[in-house]
Amino acid sequence: MAGTDKQQDMLAEGPAIILVEPQLGENIGMVARAMANFGLGELRLVSPRDGWPNEKARAAASRADHVIDAAVMFDDTAGAIADLNFVYATTARPRDNFKPVRGPVEAAGELRTRFAAGQKTGILFGRERWGLTNEEVALADEIVTFPVNPAFASLNIAQAVLLMSYEWMKTGDQAVRPVESRPEPAAKQHVESLVAYLDRVLDERGYFRTEAKKPKMIENLRTLVTRPGFTVEELAVLRGVLTSLEKFSPRKPRGSGAPDAG
C-alpha cells in the first residue's frame, strides 16, 4: 500500500504534459518514460494518430505504466487545456504573436511558483514533424523555446519533454517565489467563452473586414484577453460591460465596423 500511495502522490505532481496529435506510439511511450524519470505523471493526448490505448507506447515507456494508464485523450487542444489556469506552448522559435518568450529554466520556475499557489498548469508540445500551429500557440499564455544550435535546431518530442521535466524537477530544491499578490487566473474554458462571445458580436457588427483575415484577427483578440491573466471575476466584469455596450450597438454588414486590422 505504501508504494501505491507514493505513486499517487507523483501522479498529482506538477504540470500536465499535453501532446498535440502525436504520430507514433513509441514517441508517446518515451515521453511517458521521461515524465516518470522526473516526477511528472499527468499526460494528455490530443487525437493521437494511431489511437489510444497503444501497446507500442506501453512497451516504449519502459515500466512507466502509471503514466500510460492515467493518460487522457481529447479531441482538440482547446478541450485539453480547458481546466488549466496557465499554459506554456513549446516552439522551436519565437512566434510573432506578442506573447512573452521564456527559456526552460525560467519557465520551470514560473510553473513551480504557480503549482505552489494551487494553480493547474500545463505544457503544450506539438507534432513530431511541424510542431504547433499559430492558432494552438495562441491558446497558451506564454511561449517556451530551447537554446539549441541554430544550425541543428530539431528536437524530437521526447527530448523536449525530457528537457522541461528535468528543469521542473530542479526547481523542487529551490525556494519558491512569493505568490500572495498574484490572483489565480481563470481556466482556459472561461477565456475561450469570452473569445467566442467577441467573435459573435464583432462579426454581427461588421468588425471583420474580410473572411480571409478573420482567423488572424481572432488570434490577436485571443492573445489580448489571455496575456493579462484575468481572473474569472474580471472576465465576468469585462463581459458584463461588453454585453451592456452590445445592446446599444447596431448590427452592420461585414467590413463596415472597424479599420483594417491587417
Give the model confidence (pLDDT) of 106-143 as tens digits. Answer: 999 999 999 999 999 999 999 988 889 989 999 999 99
Asked if the structure places residue 137 within a domain, the reply is yes
User: All 3 cell numbers of residue 41?
Assistant: 505523471
What is the C-alpha separation between 245 and 199, in angstroms, rounded? Answer: 15
Asked if the structure places residue 179 within a domain, the reply is no
Q: Are residues 117 and 225 in the same domain?
A: no
Q: Are residues 192 and 167 in the same domain?
A: no
Of 105, 139, 171, which residue constitutes the final position of a domain? 171
Residue 7 has pLDDT above 60, yes or no: no
pLDDT tens track for 18-64:
999 999 999 999 999 999 999 999 999 999 999 999 999 999 999 89
Q: Taking Cα atoms as reference points, which of 139, 126, 130, 132 lies closest to residue 99?
A: 139
pLDDT tens track for 75-85:
999 999 999 99
- Domain interval for residue 88: 2-171
Asked if the structure places residue 256 within a domain, the reply is no
Asked if the structure places residue 254 within a domain, the reply is no
Predicted local distance difference test score (pLDDT) of residue 257: 57
Q: Which residues pair with residue 87 across a beta bridge? A: 122
Please name the residue that has the C-alpha cell 461588453.
242
Q: Are residues 198 and 124 in the same domain?
A: no
Q: Are 177 and 109 in contact (CB under 8 A)?
A: yes
Predicted local distance difference test score (pLDDT) of residue 106: 96
Q: Are residues 160 and 83 in the same domain?
A: yes
CATH of the domain at 130: 3.40.1280.10
Predicted local distance difference test score (pLDDT) of residue 212: 87
| Domains of the chain: total | 2
